[in-house]
Amino acid sequence: MHDLTQTLNTIPADELVKLRCFVGMTMEEAAEAMGMATRTAEGLWTYARAWLRREIHRVAQAGPAPSRGDRKLAAGRIQPRDFLRTL
């Protein structure tokens, strides 16, 4: 997971993901906080979910990773689809 959070800072939707996942804002609240329309935020959210899905699969295919969360994902104890359902 550490690799994912570091790489998250490189995508355009990083602030939206942080507001939604870590702060717990709704889409409307996050869009307002970022000064954009809700529809724009929804488009960024779709992009971010696709990016997260791709990165999770990449980490899972890479084998054991340095962080505990990545090792669980790579070992199959956390399924990517289960993580994505929480988003």
Domains in the chain, please, with CATH?
Answer: 2-85 (1.10.10)
Q: How far apart are the C-alpha atoms of 45 and 13, rounded to whole Å? A: 7
pLDDT per residue of the chain (87 residues) written in tens, 0 to 9: 556 666 677 777 888 988 998 899 999 999 999 999 999 999 999 988 888 888 878 877 876 545 555 555 555 665 556 655 555
- What pLDDT digit, counting tens, does each position of 13-29 carry? 888 988 998 899 999 99
What is the reported pLDDT for 70?
56
41 touches 34 (CB < 8 A): yes
Instruction: Tally the C-alpha atoms within 13 A of residue 84's C-alpha that lie toward its C-beta.
Output: 15
